[in-house]
Amino acid sequence: MNFSEFNINEENLDRQKELVLTTIKENIKKIDELLKLKNKTYKNFVRPLELMEEKIGFYFTPISHLNYVKNSKKTQEIYDDILPKLSIYHTELGQNEKIYLSLKEIYDKEKESLNSEEKKVLKDLLKEFELSGVGLKEDKKKKLKEINIELSNLTSKFAQNLLKATDSYEMLIEDFNDVKEFPKRDLEAAKVIKDEKTYYRFTLKQPSFIAYMTYGSNRKKREELYKAYVTRAPENDELIEKILILRDEKAKILGFKNYAELSLETKMAKSPGVVVAFLKDLASKSKPQAKKEFEELTEFAKSKGFDKDLEAFDIAYFSNKLKKEKLKVDDNEYRPYFEKENTINGLFRFLNRLFGLEFEKVKTTVWDESVSCYEISKDSKLIGRVYLDLEAREGKRGGAWMDEWVTHHIDENGKTIYPIAFIVANFPPSTKKSPSLLRHSDIVTLFHEMGHALHHLLSQVKEPMVSGISGVEWDAVEFPSQFLENFAYEEEVLKEFAYHYETKEPLSKEMIDKLKKAKNFQSAMAMVRQLEFGLFDILIHMGVKSSKEVQRVLDEVRDEVSVIKPPKYNKFQWGFSHIFAGGYAAGYYSYKWAEVLSADAFFIFVDSGIYNDEISESFIKEVLSKGGSRPAMESFKAFAKREPNVEALLKLSDINF
Please give the positions annotated as active site.
449
**Spatial distance between the Cα atoms of 436 and 439, rounded to a whole number of angstroms:** 10
- Taking residue 172's Cβ as centre, other Cβ atoms within 10 Å add up to 12
In whole angstroms, give the CA distance from residue 103 to residue 46. Answer: 7
**CB distance 102 to 31 below 8 Å:** no
Q: Which residues of 439-471 are buried (b: 16+ CB within 10 A; e: fewer)?
A: bbebbbbbbbbbbbbbbbbbbebbbbbbbbbbb
From the centroid of its chain, how far is CA 430? 24
Asked if residue 347 lies in contact with residue 384, where contact means CB atoms within 8 angstroms, the answer is no
User: CB-side exposure of 429: number of CA atoms within 13 Å?
Assistant: 15
Distance CA 146, CA 126 (A): 22
User: Which residue, 453, 357, 436, 448, is CA-closest to 393?
Assistant: 436
Helix then strand then coil, in percent of the chain rounded to 5, is 60, 10, 30
Contact 32, 99 (CB under 8 A): no
SS3 368: coil
CA distance 454 to 469: 10
Contact 605, 436 (CB under 8 A): no
Residue 97: closest CA among 158, 138, 55: 138
| Closest-CA residue to 378 (of 355, 362, 361) | 355
d(CA 526, CA 599): 16
Q: What is the rounded CA–CA span in Å between residue 647 and residue 657?
A: 10
Measure the CA–CA gap between 454 and 76, rounded to whole angstroms.
Answer: 30
Would you give the DSSP letter of residue 173? Answer: E
Closest CA to 498 of 514, 484, 483: 514
Phi, psi of 257 (to 5 degrees): -70, -35
